[in-house]
Amino acid sequence: MASKVRHPEVSMQTVEGIELRTAFWPALEEAGHRPLLFFNGIGANLELTYALGEMFPDRDIITFDVPGVGMSPVTQWPYRPWMLARWARKLLDQFEIDEVDVMGVSWGGALAQQYAFQYRNRVGKLILCATTAGMTMIPGRPKSLSKMMDARRYSDPEFMRDSFSTLYGDAVDGEAGRHIDSLLPPDPRGYVYQLLAFLGWSSLPFIRFLKMPSLVVMGDQDTIVPLANGHILKFGLPNSRLHVIEGGGHLFLVTRAQETADVIRGFLLEEVEAAEAA
């Protein structure tokens, strides 16, 4: 992690009448890198992404609470993935950001695929963490999935600590504890809308069109999204590689943050290093 503490600029942005609580980290230094657009997991508020600022200090980063999560008001009606992708694109327009690298974790990884498909000409690289191709996924352990559906994981810190290992396949350490303490309960209707958004959705019909360089990162101890899903993504994405975090569970981005950040940084910097060596 970088030694400098990097706090985001948090604001409410309105897109098509939808209020989105948004976090934006300006790069600490001008390095000429593409900004990073980040999509979080289901029910996850943007406070859980604050480590991104330390992971990638040399680039602008933007993320937002989807409606009904964190402090973004819930929408009146359910939405579909293409709508979320369009709101994200218009949000970038408001920040005068054009081309980005896109990163998504878990539920957000599916949204990252949707965004990369809709706006292929605006995506440089794609990073997918602990995610799937949608309804065609290989399911996780029933015990983990049942706990994931329990709303107490957002409102009861002790329940979350007791269930953390079973739920995510990770041990509760200092980083996991900070993750738990940063959770904000989502609006119940907003959480249901998130679940419904990807009902019947799969990236397999369009995944071959995602020709940008892509990195799939999976944990081999993930009890929610098993490693086999990463192999499916690797097979479908025409210009991709798979990196496995050994011993990593579903939240390896939190519990194995340094290792994961090093892998992703290396992937993002490849073309820059190649150009400098030429």
Give the residue from 118, 139, 138, 114 showing the smallest Cα distance to 39.
114
**In whole angstroms, what is the distance from residue 21 CA to residue 36 CA?**
17
Give the β-pairing of 240-245 and 18-25: unpaired
Q: Is 103 helix (H, G, I), strand (E, B) or coil?
A: strand
Residue 162 neighbours by CB distance under 10 Å: 13
Active site residue 106: yes
CB 134 within 8 Å of CB 225: no
What local confidence, expressed as pLDDT, does residue 176 receive?
52
Cα–Cα distance for residue pair 265/70, rounded to 1 Å: 27
What does the pLDDT read at residue 183? 67
User: Would you kindly state where each structural domain of the chain is located, as residue ranges?
Assistant: 9-139+188-277
Of the listed 3, 11, 72, 106, which one is catalytic?
A: 106
Strand 214-219, strand 100-105: pairing: unpaired
45 residue type, one letter:
N
> pTM of the full predicted structure?
0.89
Give the pLDDT confidence score for residue 151 in this predicted structure: 61
Q: Rounded to 5 degrees, what angle do the CA atoms 116, 266, 124 make?
A: 25
- The reported pLDDT for the residue numbered 192 is 92
Q: Where are the beta strands (DSSP E) in 167-273?
A: 214-219, 240-245
pLDDT at residue 54, as a whole number: 86
- Which pLDDT score is estimated for 173? 52
Residues 41, 251 contacting (CB under 8 angstroms): no
Q: Under CATH, domain 9-139+188-277 is a member of which superfamily?
A: Alpha/Beta hydrolase fold, catalytic domain (3.40.50.1820)
pLDDT in tens, the chain (278 residues): 444 567 899 999 999 999 999 999 999 878 789 999 999 999 888 888 888 888 999 999 999 999 999 999 999 999 999 999 999 999 999 999 999 999 999 999 999 999 999 999 999 999 999 999 999 899 887 777 766 666 666 666 666 666 656 566 555 555 555 655 566 778 889 989 999 999 999 999 999 999 999 999 999 999 999 999 999 999 999 999 999 999 999 989 888 889 999 999 999 999 755 445 44
Q: Nearest CA to 20 among 66, 80, 60, 76?
A: 66
> Which run of H or of E encompasses 271?
helix 257-277
Look-up: residue for tokens 């810190």?
157
Q: What is the pLDDT of residue 236?
A: 98
Q: Decide: helix, strand or coil at residue 232.
A: helix
The DSSP code for 100 is E
Rounded CA-CA distance 134/128 in Å is 13
Angle at 138 (CA atoms; ends 151, 85), nearest 5 degrees: 65
- In this prediction, residue 261 carries a pLDDT of 95
- Measured between alpha carbons, how far is 251 from 36 in angstroms, rounded to an integer? 20
pLDDT of amino acid 174:
52
Q: What is the Cα–Cα distance from 241 to 221, expressed in whole angstroms?
A: 19
